[in-house]
A and B are shown apart, each in its own frame.
Chain A
Amino acid sequence: MAVELDCTGKSIREINTGIKKHIANGEKEVLVRNPGARHNLGVALLEPSTVTFDGSVGYFCGGLMDGATVEVNGSTGWGLAESMLSGTVIVHGSAGNGAAATIRGGTVVIHKHAAARAGVAMKGGLLLIGGNCGYMAGFMGQRGTIVVCGDVGEAFADSMYETVCYVGGKVEDLGNDAVVEEVSAEDISFLEAIIADHLPDRLAELRPRLANFKKIESGRRLWNFDKTDWDVWQQVV
């Protein structure tokens, strides 16, 4: 049984301190009522526990987190789970710009859509988007995995290092040095496993389409290049 915390009339600091006090008292589940789409909720949660926001939250929810689980029964603003080290963030609605930016580990699941710059500069972890995602997702990704079940916007996977991306829908435009590869049997079982884990309601619909997912990785052309190579400059500028 989750302990409840009502945000009505409380400052952001009072809410966040309240959540941390409950966790320090050994509560495993905290249900936060009336979050009202306010910013900076559930930031820097460092103990294993599940914090559920019963509504939408604003910017930076679940940021700087290590090991907790945050669930949002609504939408989120910018910077969801930013720089998370480990843990799980689940959003039942859509997320604003910069979701899962620079995460080092953990899992971010967005059931509906993500706006621009999702998963930029990821250094690890998994970003799973049930719907579409916007402009410039995956930019400069170093490690980790991005899976988008729907369509992706312009400049997808631009200038990446070793992040691996999978896209179920249309790719509006590939970023610099992004290359499309065939999915292997191993890729398909990986996709099936994470969808079964995190989006079980979608599994029946997505399973027959998994073989058509596009795998997108860095072409590694920009990792090292000769500065006198005019072709490369033309490509990136």
Chain B
Amino acid sequence: MCGIIGFLDKQSDGTSPVGNTVLTMLNALACRGPDSAGVALYTGSSNGHTVLRVKLGENGDFAGRRESIAERIQGLGTILDSSTTEEYLRLELDFQGDPKELSALIETEADNVEVVSMGNALEIVKQVGSPENLEQTHGVSRITGTHGIGHTRLSTESRVDLSHSQPFWAHGMPDLAVVHNGHITNYHKLRMLYEQHGVRFYTDNDSEVIGVYLADRLSQGMSLQEALTASLDDLDGSFSYLAATRNELGFAKDRFALKPLLFTETDETVVVATEEIAIENAFPGIGGVREAQAKEVQVWRLN
């Protein structure tokens, strides 16, 4: 049992209160996932800068690592801004190169250093604990943008730590993030196939493979709609998941409709959540809420 939510402001100029909306929805689902909470927010900044959120490790000399990482990436791009909150390093770069090369270079710093998100708009913040804790540490509600997704986790199979929390960035594919409620039963098979092609997995969480799968399909030229539809056949098990790119928000639900997911749409907004209680918390009386059917896929784009 986990809670997932998504919000998209169709007409957004990039200054919608996405952080606050996503957090308000997530707070209502805190009881579905007490282990960890996280959000992937699309900040809508169009300055072309690349923003990275890097986990510097579990504990230790974060300041030293921050300096060392800055030195490592000097040759690839210019650091325009750099800040640290707890174990997170946030970097804003003028960078035009290969995202995989950049994240690999940063991750050579240490085994437990991970690029949690990268993109022109995407910023992922996640940690062990409740959505309330997430707000206290990172001030998520102050972040503005165009759309966002969020997750509260009840771990069933894998460890409870920052890296195993969701949302997952699809490593290597800028701005692609996923949140998942359910269980991917052909995870080990898919993981083995991707590992044979050199893909690195950062966790033992089955949900991570969804991001890897979508990144693979999108890089083959599929649209998000096509990739989500293809996943209905290629992923086994129970799933309702949300995927977001720089200008899209979408969901897919498994063929047996084993996991809840509801949504509603108005002229201005799209709201998706595991339970309507989350929608009511942020948009009281919005109406028109419907549970997604088995094998249903929807994708919405920013105008």
- Chain A interface residues (CB < 8 Å from chain B): 36-39, 55-56, 58, 74-75, 77-78, 93-97, 112-113, 115-117, 132, 134-135, 153-154
- Residue contact A56 to B260, C-beta cutoff 8 Å: no
Could you jot down 7 A-B contacts, CB within 8 Å?
A58-B277, A112-B290, A113-B291, A115-B257, A135-B256, A135-B293, A135-B295
Q: How far is the CA of A181 from the CA of B17 in the complex (A)?
A: 55
In the complex, chain B residues 266-302 whose Cβ is within 8 Å of any chain A Cβ:
275-277, 279-281, 284-285, 287-295
Q: Does B262 contact A (CB under 8 A)?
A: yes
Name B292's contact: one of A36, A112, A115 (CB within 8 Å). Answer: A115
- Residue contact B289 to A113, C-beta cutoff 8 Å: no
Main secondary structure of the interface of A (DSSP, over half): loop
Quote the shortest CB–CB distance from B65 to chain A (angstroms). 44
Q: How far is the CA of A78 from the CA of B255 in the complex (A)?
A: 17
How many residues on B have C-beta within 8 angstroms of the other chain's C-beta atoms? 22
A132: nearest residue on chain B (CB-CB)?
B293
B276: nearest residue on chain A (CB-CB)?
A37
A34: nearest residue on chain B (CB-CB)?
B284
Which residue, of B260, B281, B291, has the highest number of chain A Cβ atoms within 10 A? B291
* Chain A residues within an 8 Å CB radius of B277: 36-39, 58
* Chain B residues within an 8 Å CB radius of A39: 277
- Residue contact A58 to B276, C-beta cutoff 8 Å: yes
Name B287's contact: one of A93, A117, A153 (CB within 8 Å). Answer: A93
* Chain B residues within an 8 Å CB radius of A56: 276, 280, 289
Q: How far is the CA of A181 from the CA of B288 in the complex (A)?
A: 34
Main secondary structure of the interface of B (DSSP, over half): loop
A133: nearest residue on chain B (CB-CB)?
B293
- Residue contact B276 to A75, C-beta cutoff 8 Å: yes
Which residue, of B255, B260, B276, B277, has the highest number of chain A Cβ atoms within 10 A? B276
Given A58-B277, A112-B290, output 5 extra A-B contacts at Cβ < 8 Å: A55-B284, A75-B289, A77-B262, A77-B276, A154-B294
B289: nearest residue on chain A (CB-CB)?
A75
Q: How far is the CA of A132 from the CA of B293 in the complex (A)?
A: 10
- If A56-B276, A117-B257 touch, whether A97 touches B288 (CB-CB below 8 Å) is no
Name B280's contact: one of A37, A97, A113, A134 (CB within 8 Å). Answer: A37
Q: How far is the CA of A36 from the CA of B285 in the complex (A)?
A: 9
Quote the shortest CB–CB distance from B252 to chain A (angstroms). 15
Quote the shortest CB–CB distance from A235 to chain B (angstroms). 20
Quote the shortest CB–CB distance from A98 to chain B (angstroms). 10
Q: How far is the CA of A192 from the CA of B285 in the complex (A)?
A: 33
Name A96's contact: one of B256, B262, B287 (CB within 8 Å). Answer: B262
* Chain A residues within an 8 Å CB radius of B292: 115
* Chain B residues within an 8 Å CB radius of A74: 287, 289
Q: How far is the CA of A56 from the CA of B292 in the complex (A)?
A: 16
- Residue contact B262 to A93, C-beta cutoff 8 Å: no
> Interface digits, B158-200 against A, CB 8 Å rule (1 contact, 0 not)?
0000000000000000000000000000000000000000000
B279: nearest residue on chain A (CB-CB)?
A37
Quote the shortest CB–CB distance from B253 to chain A (angstroms). 9
Quote the shortest CB–CB distance from B271 to chain A (angstroms). 12
- Residue contact B289 to A115, C-beta cutoff 8 Å: no
